Amino acid sequence: MTDDVRAGKPRVVLGVGGGIAAYKSASLLRLLTESGHDVTVVPTRAALEFVGAATWAALSGHPVNTDLWTGAHEVPHVRIGQHADLVIVAPATADLLAKAAHGLADDLLTNTLLTARCPVVFAPAMHTEMWEHPATQANVGTLRSRGALVIEPAAGRLTGADTGPGRLPEPEEIFEVCRRILARGVAGLVPDLVGHRVLVTAGGTREPLDPVRFVGNRASGRQGYALARTAVTRGAEVVLVAANTELADPAGVKVVPVTTTAQLRDAVLAEAAVADAIVMAAAIADFRPETYHDKKIKKVDDSWAPTVQLVQNPHVLRELTAHRVRTGQIIVGFAAETGDADRNAIEVGRDKLGRYGVDLLVVNEVGTDKAFGSPDNEAVIFDAAGGQTVVGYGPKEALADRIWDLVVAALARSP
């Protein structure tokens, strides 16, 4: 590929470590190239035992080298890293993490890591015992302290019969991390949530009436998942309490699935004690049926309908703000509104700022074709001091990043 053809495309280096999960990186490579990225693949020698050089060359459109001597006149061990907009290592083995943490450079990939001045992302994959070993955790801590983004591995089936933390996240989710970092541009160089634990809620709770019916809402969870994904790209340790969503688990996120408001409350209170910031993006049902019928409610005749008595659910957000368990904890609420006879949705939502006692309140108008289920959103973010930030209509990731901008600023001011 000529320089003219490559001009204007984000330049990504895909480093591939020698683990069985290397086969998944072929899918990641295709996602990157098909979305307009210029990708140079730098596998280790061990990686080529799992996926051959011909595969990487065919999918990337570039020759594939692993040694320092091929094309030495072009100084590849320096040039590849210098010219990259992003380096992603997937899978990152325990050996690769150790070499990167200690600055070892015995092949083309480890040399590239030393010369890169762009965002560097590691997606670890290894057996649970290797991931949890103190040496690996120390290496991960070192890399994070230097500004690298090390994604938490997924939990699940490993090689053989083993299961546990250490599984490579799905390629689509690693791609989302890469996309978000590149979209942030220069800001992506600084993972400003490193060292912070954040808790996000997403989706909509459902309150069962009988085994087949429930009281619920239209929330899809997309905004909460966008908040979780963007927090990962900014270096946070993320827990996502997800209510009734059908979305793939974001890479590097601990997902706690729930159904009802009571379950969401229990999960949030359990995680709140260690969270530096809490963003309550889930649409929590205000009411639940007073009586649950353990058998399906049958239609008696064509003119009969049951009377359903509703009772109020606990107000989880108010409970969090009334009993903050950590000094300096930042709590963000969401108010999804439709307005009333006298005021628009934003005006109605703003009134909740003082009642909720939150640090930030995100107010957005919802409806059949607004916000719920859409990839886009718009909102006004109010702060406790009376300021407001208007976020125009656009991708939910953009709103998520703006919310984290304000959270980062608030954390910097907190004691």
Q: Which residues carry out catalysis?
A: 217
Rounded distance, CA 81 to CA 168, Å?
24
Residue 255: its H or E element: strand 253-258
Rounded distance, CA 168 to CA 155, Å?
8
Instruction: For residue 362, report the phi and psi dihedrals to the nearest 5 degrees.
Output: -95, 115
Rounded distance, CA 246 to CA 226, Å?
14
Give ∠ CA 185-189-193 in degrees, rounded to 5: 110
Rounded distance, CA 123 to CA 143, Å?
12
Rounded distance, CA 9 to CA 346, Å?
40
Helix, strand, coil percent values for the chain (each to nearest 5):
35, 25, 40
Q: What is the DSSP pairing of strand 120-124 with strand 86-92?
A: parallel
Lookup result for tokens 């909720």: 356
Kindly tell me the sign of the dihedral angle through the C-alpha atoms of 297, 298, 300, 301.
positive
Rounded distance, CA 151 to CA 177, Å?
9
